[in-house]
């Protein structure tokens, strides 16, 4: 039922972050940590106009990178991570973004969620990145007990077939933002919450 409703709302989906290839997607995903996609998309065009490859990014240097991304928050950490991972891509991967979870997660600033986004959206490998929107929805819809995002990811992978993961995780993000946000729905308001739990009378409070 959830999949059917999401397919009706979002029959075709694109990655919300503007990018040109696997490398620019990787940079954009790193910038999106504790920052809205809208803000990232405002920042990256000027950054990528100057540096859209690891080679150009290392030539730009961490200080110039930081100037471009200052409004994203955590600019010091992110600029260093982008600079260092660019150097590592050149040294260890021929300037290309690797297509394995292990190699991606060995890059500075790249955790499992970021690696999952790259594997799913750049390389088409089934993955299920779990962000705060997906974690919240999975809890509200009782798809997981939501102790942590790792468990939520494992539970969602059991519930949905791998061929759905890459599209579904974007559908869930879009739905969480537009219909079932932290402030816009308390587990009783949005269409899916009402459909799944018509008898739910009290707000459902989710843990982070």
In percent, how much of the chain has pLDDT > 90? 86
Q: What is the pLDDT of residues 18-64, one digit of tens each?
A: 999 999 999 999 999 989 999 999 999 999 999 999 999 999 999 99
In percent, how much of the chain has pLDDT > 70? 99
Summary mean pLDDT of the chain = 94
- Kindly tell me if the per-residue pLDDT of 208 is higher than 60: no
CATH of domain 22-121: 1.10.340.30
Residue 141: predicted pLDDT: 94
Catalytic residue among 131, 157, 167, 186: 131
Q: Per CATH, the architecture of 128-196 is what?
A: Orthogonal Bundle (1.10)
The domain limits of the chain are 22-121, 128-196
Residue 78, sorted as left (phi over 0), alpha (psi -120 to 50) or beta, turns out to be alpha
Active site residue 131: yes
206 pLDDT band, cuts 50/70/90, is low
Q: What is the pLDDT of residues 118-171, one digit of tens each?
A: 999 999 999 999 988 899 899 999 999 878 889 999 999 999 999 999 999 999
Buried b (16+ CB within 10 A) or exposed e, 16-36: bbbbeebbbbbbbbbbbbebe
Active site residue 113: yes
Residue 183: predicted pLDDT: 87
- Kindly tell me if the per-residue pLDDT of 195 is higher than 90: yes
Residue 123: predicted pLDDT: 97
């Amino acid at each position: 039922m959830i999949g059917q409703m999401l397919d009706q709302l979002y029959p075709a989906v694109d990655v919300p972050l503007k990018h040109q290839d696997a490398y620019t997607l990787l940079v954009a995903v790193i910038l999106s940590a504790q920052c809205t996609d809208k803000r990232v998309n405002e920042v990256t065009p000027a950054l990528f106009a100057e540096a859209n490859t690891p080679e150009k990014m290392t030539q730009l240097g961490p200080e110039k990178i930081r100037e471009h991304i200052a409004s994203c928050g955590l600019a010091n950490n992110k600029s260093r991570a982008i600079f260092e991972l660019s150097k590592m891509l050149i040294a260890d991967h021929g300037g290309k973004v690797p297509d394995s979870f292990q190699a991606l997660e060995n890059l500075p600033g790249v955790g499992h969620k970021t690696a999952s986004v790259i594997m799913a959206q750049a390389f088409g490998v089934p993955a299920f990145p779990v962000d705060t929107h997906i974690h919240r929805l999975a809890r509200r819809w009782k798809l997981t007990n939501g102790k942590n995002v790792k468990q939520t990811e494992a539970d969602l992978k059991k519930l949905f077939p791998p061929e759905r993961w890459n599209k579904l995780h974007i559908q869930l993000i879009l739905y969480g933002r537009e219909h079932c946000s932290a402030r816009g729905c308390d587990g009783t308001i949005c269409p899916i919450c009402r459909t799944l739990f018509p008898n739910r009378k009290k707000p459902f409070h989710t843990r982070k």
